Amino acid sequence: MSKRYERLMKCYESFKAKIDFTPEIALILGSGLGDYADGIDIRATLDYKDIEDFPVSTAPGHKGRFVFGYVNGVPVVVMQGRVHYYEGYPMEDVVLPVRLMKLMGAKVLFLTNAAGGVNWQFECGDFMLINDQICMAPSPLIGENLDEMGPRFPDMSEIYSKKLRDIVKKSARELDIPLREGVYIQLTGPNYESPSEVRMVRTLGADAVGMSTACEAIAANHIGMKTVGISCISNLACGVSNRPLSHAEVQETADRVAPLFKQLITASVTNIAKEI
């Protein structure tokens, strides 16, 4: 048994000692969406600090706890706050929650984030369904492989499940919520990108840029979880807009569109559960 797996099992045993709940879908909430979990049918909560050897989120606006409950009868585990690479954690810690939620029983990982718009056609407040990604942070699979959970060299030809993307698009149409689609790129942060870096990532094919998500999606695919992701375009990246960037702007936009985002998540979770 690898040391990574031993640590993961230690976290799992700590969870099992406190919570008796089996989720079908795992959700990671980005900036501005943290209070979505407060509105579900909550059955239990577990602070990250109360799980043995578990990383704790320090990002502003991230509560740092798991919420267990139901969304329209669908059992879910929701992360109110994720762990970021820019907080100084090793990548192994950043994706440990994804692996733990798989052990909890989740089959699907639903990722959300606030991202900067790189595509010239995007506007603040748009929602973008992620159809592919570029990860410019270190791979979470570097180092000792979790042989018990996935192969050494996993395929990444369909990181974001086409079937799940189709369900989200259908849910958006039913709610009459505009939904763009594109490629997400993860840089390390915590600084925002320079104008030249934005031109670079646009040249690479990115439509939105952020500081999370891609590494989590890689980890999820490695362990066999179906993955879907939506970005809230909370600001236009440097060079696309002449305005200086700030976390306050990101939070303001995310808060403004949160009601629609929550509707889309609820409908998508409900419809995904019918297919898994």
The whole-angstrom separation of Cα 113 and Cα 29 is 7
Tokens linked to 230: 């939506």
Q: Answer whether 178's CB lies under 8 Å from 123's CB.
A: no
Give the active site residue among 57, 113, 212, 268. 212
- Verify whether residue 254 is a known catalytic residue: no
Give the active site residue among 26, 79, 114, 237. 114
- Verify whether residue 86 is a known catalytic residue: yes
- Verify whether residue 160 is a known catalytic residue: no
Give the active site residue among 247, 249, 252, 258. 247
Give the active site residue among 37, 59, 84, 220. 84
- Verify whether residue 84 is a known catalytic residue: yes
Provide CB contacts within 8 A for 93, sequence distance 6+: 55, 83
Give the active site residue among 211, 214, 267, 273. 211
Give the active site residue among 161, 171, 234, 235. 235
Q: Which of 267, 40, 72 is nearest to 167 (CA)?
A: 267
What's the half-sphere exposure (Cβ side, CA atoms, 13 Å) at 112?
28
- Verify whether residue 139 is a known catalytic residue: no
Give the active site residue among 2, 86, 145, 158. 86
Which segments of the chain does DSSP mark as H helices, in order? Answer: 3-16, 91-104, 162-175, 195-204, 214-222, 247-273
Give the active site residue among 36, 62, 193, 220. 62
Specify burial of residue 60 (Cβ count, 10 A radius: 0-12, 13-18, 19+): exposed
Give the active site residue among 36, 59, 79, 87. 87
Q: Which of 229, 253, 231 is nearest to 243 (CA)?
A: 253
The whole-angstrom separation of Cα 68 and Cα 79 is 9
- Verify whether residue 62 is a known catalytic residue: yes
- Verify whether residue 196 is a known catalytic residue: no
- Verify whether residue 247 is a known catalytic residue: yes
- Verify whether residue 225 is a known catalytic residue: no
- Verify whether residue 222 is a known catalytic residue: no
Positions marked catalytic: 31, 62, 84, 86-87, 114, 211-212, 235, 247
